Structure 1
Amino acid sequence: MCKIWIFGGTTEGRLLAEYCSREKIEAWVSVASEYGEELLQEELMESGNAGNPDLNHNTKESGQCADKEICFAKKSLKTVQASSVIKVLRGRMDRYQMEEFIRNQGIHLVIDATHPHARLVSEEIQEACGRTGVRLERCLRAEGEQNKARDWIEVDSIQEAVSFLSSVSGVIFATTGSKELEALCQIPDYQKRVYARVLPTSNVLKKCEKLGITGSHLIAMQGPFSTEMNTLFLRQTKAEWLLTKDSGRAGGFQEKVEAARENGTRVVVIRRPEEDGISLEEAMEVLKKADEGNVGELKTHLILAGIGMGQPSQMTGEVLRAIRESDALIGAGRMLESAERALRNDLLISKEGKAENRQESAAAVEKERKCYKAYLPDDVIQIVSEHPEWKQAVILYSGDTGFFSGASRMAERLREAGYPFTVYPGTSCVSYLAARLGTHWEDAAIYSAHGRELSVDRVMKRLCDPEEPAKRAFILMGGKNGAGQFCERLTQAGYGNVQVTVGENLSYPEEQIRSGTAEEMRKLEFADLSLMLMEVTDEIKRGQNEEEKITDGNNTETKNVEKLIYEQKMVSEKMPSDVRVTESYKNDADKLLPHEASVRACPRIMLAAPKSGSGKTLLTCGLLEILRRRGLNPIACKCGPDYIDPMFHRYVLGIPGRNLDSFFLPAESVRKVLVDAVREEQAGIAVLEGVMGYYDGLGGTETSASSWEIAEITDTPAILVLDCKGASLSAAAMASGFLHFRKKSHIAGVILNRVSSMYYERLAAAVEEASGLPVLGYLPESEEYRMESRHLGLFLPGEIDRLRERIGRLADQMEKSIAVERVLEVAGMLPLRIENKEKEKAENESMEAESIAKFPACQEQKVTSRVRIGVARDEAFCFYYQENFRLLEQMGAELVYFSPLRDKKIPDRVDGLLFGGGYPENYARELAKNAAMRESIRRSIAAGMPFLAECGGFLYLHRTLEGSDGKHWEMAGVYPFDAYRTNRLRRFGYVRLLTSSGQEIHGHEFHYWESEDPGTDWEAVKPTGNRSWRCIHEKGGQIGGFPHLYYASCPDFLRKWLDVCAKGSQKKYIN
């Protein structure tokens, strides 16, 4: 009989349970809560399939389990006999408990019918099924409304929804459930703006009270809710925004959307995760076939097992059990020999412990199994695919599967091939040798020279790091890189007095451990596979020998120096790429400054915050104005892809702002952007403005591309801006939490925003006591310098009345309430004056050449002939990255700016056109009135002129554009279709763009307007890889679409486009 387990708690889960009960199909059904159990019982009773209530029992209260397998190590779950064939298991389970239940109950088939947004639960179920080798089917909820004219804003996660709602104003009616309440509390003034509808359970009500969601802002009711009832809620709360998940028809999604339409409420929808699965009807068919004995074809379950050093005594019990129960063993010859020894060893039987198990274990030892010598993933998969009859096979790895092992690559290939697998760790040689020596290894650097090159310099640099040196280094030796040879290279490099310990044949009877200096050990012979431990003295670390040698292991160079120091490659200890001996120095004044030679010692500071809307841009502008007044020659950089904040920076300073984005560029290139900005502007201090919340990165669940990652990459101290409106001691908790969320948070101080002078001293004392961070001042709330927002962010500088006056008053207030001198102390030393201009010029040229060699992705790649590029730039088209302009000019392009609003035609003798993003919808009437410009553009492009058009620029090239006024205006007419407003966020976030020629360029999307035809020539992929779609029109060098492109992420793309422009430079375009 097939044993079935259904994960329910949803409408689909209850319907599947009712189907099983009706068709007399035995099944376990899991629900998370008592409420879910009640709903299931009601479903069964209504269908006439309920069980005997007298069969219900609470295993925890009785102290026994009706089925002993329901008890787990740390908990027991309530079981309910809901019908003659349905057993209900109530309570939450982790992946390990799921695995245990599957194994103990002998489950053959699992149906995951959990909520579409319960991603973590589904991932746990998938992992448990994969590790146990049982069949899993995902039952998908039926889609809700899918018409083309959907008028809601779609986001991928609750974090994206919170980010968006933080940027707009208005009351929010939230129907996303109690799990998302903490995230909603990140919205500014959430206690006034957010109304939450939740289930009326005691735990949920306590949670709401704890979070401050109480009174009329808390609606605790059990659904389902009709359209009329939803409309009533929206009217009573005066909601301008409805926040919901795309939960399909069963989740009442249709009724919510219809109510919002009727009430004129805008809707933010958390998009349903894209996943593969089957429908409810198909799931019922699977259950029927399974009950008939047809579970379907199951792939072999593979176990990736670390066998330690190879002796059976060093193998774990689960590895020995896997070897015993397997149908086949696969691995290198040495691993197979170790496994066979384990099977012959009496230890295998004794590990079972109980006498009654020994006969079964002995039989398992005698079980016939095949051994295959293979370790490459493709070879292993080929072998396994030829034996579908195998239930389980073990792939053997020496040591631990996570220590210089091929297991990670094997796991990746098995996922691609669809094979379920489990990874069992083993004892690594490092942990074994450390234990034999009675020492520890948590502070050690670990390397492998087995089949790969390892330089002496690399190891010594890590051991002698001036900031965070490793206490010791373990090196796995093998092949030509034996322990004796490495000791010889250490001695040649001048490190003959380094203490070395070598372990050979570890765990075997011939095990041998020898110690001595590198010079003493270099002439000895060691086993082919051995492990070396290196430790250096403080004298070596300080480098106080009069003659020291540093080598790369092949070329040895000796220099007479008085002291050894690190030559850092940029603005801090995070910037170096290699260690070298510098010129000697006699006193501190002669030391090399910690920056690239062409960059004066430049302090830097980041203003970051826990969430959007905290006042980062406001405080950044005020600080920049203060630094400008003091003559400190500041520059500003924005973390992330934002266009608008750098415009404010430019408004204050009069120089372009830069973007530092670690999704667009690798870390070294991000640092180079900062280096170049400091050098080109001769900056005295760099101010970095964070993006969103300090730790918020890709997908809302990673720190990649976050403000913190930029601080980590550039080693910039951060000041945390806390919005204290409506908060008190919680501000102290927030400061402490952010400081300790990462071991190296880079947070060096706090500024309190929107707090009164009367309350500041008490709150500052609480923050300092809780976190240990200095509070550097505060900013009271005032209409005199407040900045308004709209759908794409803040209003532009030119759209804010008396902005110069506002910033002046802001700076005046900050001078009074913020300790600017302490901010400068946090930032680092004050800027240095370089008197020798000729020397500085020579250093600049030298380092520029080195930078070009070091960062080939950003180096100058000039096209064959100089081209003139017309750039549409005015109030309507203002979204450009400064780095894009810089790269264009480096490649030999001359940029000629023109205004589609005011000029009558495109510039003369241009070879290509750039149309950036912006707000053409706000200027649609003015753009339409300039018929001469529209005709000039249309005719030139029709004649073949290349162009790049992004987002707003792409909209301008349409036949018509719906303006912010709701009217449709005639545009350039390059594309024979129309652009229209959707009243919802169509796309939001980073994308990887795969061009028609196979190149990958990174970009960003954020738009409410849509096109009748957004293009299909490129593919856009979310960074997490969970979603993709077609976009972009490309024909020759004529490229248009919604994504904003960051050229330096793929310089070759831009070079090829400029080559197209250059080839047509002799053509007489009609303009």
Structure 2
Amino acid sequence: MAAHIEVKALLVAAVSSGQGKTTVTAALARKLARQGKRVRVFKCGPDFIDPMLLERASGAPVRSLDLWMVGHDLCRRQLAQAAAEADVILIEGVMGLYDGTPSSADLSREFGVPVMAVIDAGAMAQTAGALVHGLRDYGPVEMAGVIANRVASENHAKMVAASLRDIPLFATLPRQAKSLPERHLGLVLPGEVGDIDQLLDNLADQLVFDDAAWERLRPVRIEVPPAAEPQAPLLAGQTIAVARDPAFMFIYPANLDTLRQLGATLTFFSPLAGQPVPAEATAVYLPGGYPELHAEALSQASTWQASIRSAHAAGLPIVAECGGMMALADTLADQAGAVWAMAGLLPGAVAMQARLAGLGSQGLTTAQGVLRGHTFHYSKLETTVEPAAYTIKHPSAVQGEAWYRVGSLAASYFHAYFPSNPAAVAALFSRSAA
């Protein structure tokens, strides 16, 4: 019989984006952590920014759960590991509860994690009950309770609670005078908000919490899977230089884990600080980020630009994702329309635009099978380079992002989730493939 671990776990979900899921999850994580509980938080679906905030709120690393991109087995393995280390697991859902294929509701049902519904009660009272009962019964899902956001008064909270009938009002959060700042790709990064810990503490203080309802929450039984097969060290002896600074920080922690499990040594450097590609590097990884916010500094980072051109000329494999690719074009036009010279390894011009240019789960077909990931960007690349391949959108199976090859450079708007296909990743970072 398979071993199990019991732990209190909740999937924090809503009827749509914009209801306050991230704010509520962060407030709940901070409140529970301040009570001395060991809290582990996960983010459902592809995301880089929300996990940074949730990590700050909980004090523990935040990983991704997604039945398609991450896969059922790794999702279960991560949940089991968290259950062994924590008193509470919180999973922030993505978009609305039933949005996406697979959805947050699918994840809830797959692992038996009850849903905590976040509702924006700012412009409603008794209708909250109809909304939450619909969320519960449509799937159906197990509904643990409700956290009402933007509640105006104690009387308002009582009206919401009465409307929920057999579903408990777990907590309320008042309308915030100061909200978490946002920009085009989501929340502003926690490190850029000077009073972020004070903001999180204030949210935790204002979360009016029903301790009795918390005590009544049933523990979730998480199955402990057999130990994973050890990863063949396909990158043994390789040193991969990873760009990491405010212009290049969109990276799944699991991607770094995978590179290490493949036997690679990782070294980090900052193009923004003008640091060159480390001399010991045998390959370079330029993840996504916000190069458009730092275009002037990147254009003036002559040492970094010369070093990446030298690495390319020497045939080092270079993997550039989204923002990493943008920094390797000839030019980058920022949101104000100013045009800045970039490193020029990928002929073409990148320009920011107001409209979303790409969003959603995608997979890249390789000789080693499909490498899964996602895309999310507001810029466009105009280039004469013919794509070497295209990703395939999930679940529609229509053509997705272009995948470019220029010498040893592999570049795309596609963000790959490395654990989905370590063998394909090893090939990408191997000189033979480049």
TM-score range, shorter chain: over 0.9
Partner deviation per Cα, 1:357-411 (whole Å, 9 max, x = no partner): xxxxxxxxxxxxxxxxxxxxxxxxxxxxxxxxxxxxxxxxxxxxxxxxxxxxxxx
Find the partner of 2:146 among 747, 750, 760: 750
Q: Which residue of 1 aligns with 2:114?
A: 717
Match in the other structure for 1:999: 369
1:662 equivalent among 51, 67, 90: 67
User: Residue 39 of structure 2 contacts residue 90 of structure 2 at CA under 8 Å; is this kept in 1?
Assistant: yes
Output the CA distance in 1 between the equivalents of 2:81 and 2:407.
33
Q: Distance in 1 between matches of 2:300 and 2:289?
A: 18
Does the CA-based 8 Å contact 1:608-1:691 persist in structure 2? yes
Match of 1:791 among 184, 188, 205: 184
Match of 1:874 in 2: 245
Higher alpha-carbon Rg: 1
1:810 Cα deviation from its structure 2 partner: 0.9
Provide the residue aligned with 1:960 in structure 2. 331
SS in 1 for 2:395: coil
Gaps (5+ residues) in structure 1? 1-566, 570-593, 596-600, 698-703, 831-846, 854-858, 1065-1071
From 762, 766, 774, give the equivalent of 2:158: 762
Superposed, which structure 2 residues align to 1:484-523 within 5 Å?
Answer: none
Equivalent AA in structure 1 for residue 379 of structure 2: W
Change (3 A) 1:903 1:686: farther
Distance 1:778-1:972 versus aligned 2 partners, 3 A rule: same
2:128 is aligned, of 731, 737, 748, to 731
Match for residue 780 of structure 1? Answer: 174
Letter of the structure 2 residue corresponding to residue 987 of structure 1: G
Residues 1:800 and 2:203 aligned together: no
Counterpart position of 1:904: 275
Q: CA deviation at 1:1015?
A: 5.0
Q: Which secondary structure state, in structure 1, belongs to the residue aligned with residue 105 of structure 2?
A: helix
Shift of 1:677: 4.3
Aligned to 2:96: 693
Q: Secondary structure at the match of 1:754?
A: strand
Looking at structure 2, the residues matched to 714 and 1036 of structure 1 have their Cα atoms a distance apart, in angstroms, of 44
Alignment match, 2:102: 705
Which residue does 1:607 correspond to in 2?
Answer: 12
Answer yes or no: is the 8 Å Cα contact 2:312–2:407 preserved in 1: no
State the Cα deviation string for residues 151-180 of structure 1 (Å, max 9, x = none).
xxxxxxxxxxxxxxxxxxxxxxxxxxxxxx
Cα distance change, pair 678–748 in 1 and its aligned pair in 2 (3 A): closer
Query: Could you report, residue by residue, the CA deviation over 1:74-106 in whole angstroms, capped at 9, with x for unpaired residues?
Result: xxxxxxxxxxxxxxxxxxxxxxxxxxxxxxxxx
Residues 1:899 and 1:821: Cα distance change in structure 2 (over 3 Å):
farther
Tell me the SS of whatever aligns to 1:933: helix
Deviations 1:940-967 (A, max 9, x none): 1121111111000100111111123321
Moved more, 906-915 or 610-619: 906-915
Match of 1:826 in 2: 217
Q: Deviations over 1:632-655 (max 9, x none)?
A: 221110000011110101222343
Residue 27 of structure 2 corresponds to residue 622 of structure 1: yes
Partner Cα distance (1:941, 1:883) in 2: 26
Partners of 1:903 and 1:823 in 2: CA distance: 50
Shift, 1:919, TM fit: 0.7
Question: Larger helix proportion, structure 1 or 2?
Answer: 1
Given that 2:240 and 2:266 are in contact with CA atoms closer than 8 Å, whether structure 1 keeps it comes out as yes
Measured after TM superposition, the shift of residue 1055 of structure 1 is 2.3
Q: How does 1:410-425 map to 2 (within 5 A)?
A: none
Report the counterpart of residue 38 of structure 2 in structure 1: 633
Alignment of 1:326-725 (within 5 A): 567-569=1-3, 594-595=4-5, 601-679=6-84, 682-697=85-100, 704-725=101-122
The secondary structure found in structure 2 opposite 1:994 is strand
Q: Does residue 914 in structure 1 map to residue 285 in structure 2?
A: yes
Paired-residue identity, %: 32
Distance 2:40 2:401 in 1: 38
Name structure 2 gaps, 5 residues minimum: none
Cα separation, 2, equivalents of 1:688 and 1:827: 16
Q: How does 1:872-951 map to 2 (within 5 A)?
A: 872-951=243-322
- Name the CA shift for 1:912/1:872 in 2 (closer, same or farther; >3 Å): same
Structure showing greater relative contact order (alpha-carbon pairs closer than 8 Å, 6 or more residues apart): 2
Structure 2 residue identity aligned to 1:1005? T
CA drift of 1:798 comes to 2.3
Q: Is the 8 A contact 1:1037 1:1057 kept in 2?
A: no
- Count, aligned residues: 431
Residue identity matched to 1:608: A
Distance in 1 (CA, whole Å) between partners of 2:212 and 2:238 is 48
Task: Give the Cα–Cα distance (whole angstroms) in 2 for the partners of residues 725 and 1011 of structure 1.
Answer: 41
Q: Distance in 1 between matches of 2:190 and 2:327?
A: 22
| Number of the residue aligned with 2:391 | 1020
TM-score scaled by length of structure 1: 0.39
Change (3 A) 1:864 1:787: closer
SS in 2 for 1:897: strand
C-alpha distance in 1 between matches for 2:152 and 2:412: 47
Q: CA deviation at 1:722?
A: 0.7
Q: Counterpart of 1:481? A: none
On the 8 A contact 2:8/2:219 being kept in 1, the answer is: yes
Task: Point out the structure with the larger strand share.
Answer: 2
2:214 alignment partner AA: V
Cα 1:881–1:1015, aligned 2, differ >3 Å: closer, same or farther?
Answer: farther
CA contact (8 A) 2:125 2:156 kept: no
Paired residue secondary structure (1:637)? strand
Q: For the Cα contact (< 8 Å) 1:868–1:896, is it kept in 2?
A: yes
Task: Check whether the contact 1:942–1:974 (CA below 8 A) recurs between aligned residues.
Answer: no
Greater CA drift, 734-743 or 793-802: 793-802
Superposed CA RMSD in Å reads 2.3
How far apart, in 1, do the equivalents of 2:279 and 2:12 lie? 44
Q: Report the 3-state secondary structure (helix = DSSP H, G, I; strand = E; otherwise coil) of the residue aligned with 2:30.
A: helix
Q: Aligned-pair distance for 1:862?
A: 1.2
Aligned residue type for 1:1001: L
Shift of 1:903: 4.1
* 1:17 alignment counterpart: none
Report SS of the residue matched to 1:783.
coil
Shift of 1:736: 0.9
Distance in 2 (CA, whole Å) between partners of 1:678 and 1:890 is 23
Counterpart contact for 1:760–1:778, Cα < 8 Å: no
Aligned to 2:231: 860
Distance 1:693 1:797, change over 3 A: same
Deviation at 1:750, TM superposition (A): 0.7
Q: Is the 8 A contact 1:640 1:691 kept in 2?
A: yes
- State how far apart, in whole Å, the 1-side matches of 2:206 and 2:192 are: 23
Shift of 1:1039: 1.0
- Cα distance in structure 1, aligned partners of 2:292 and 2:241: 22
Query: Offset of 1:659 from its aligned partner?
Result: 0.4
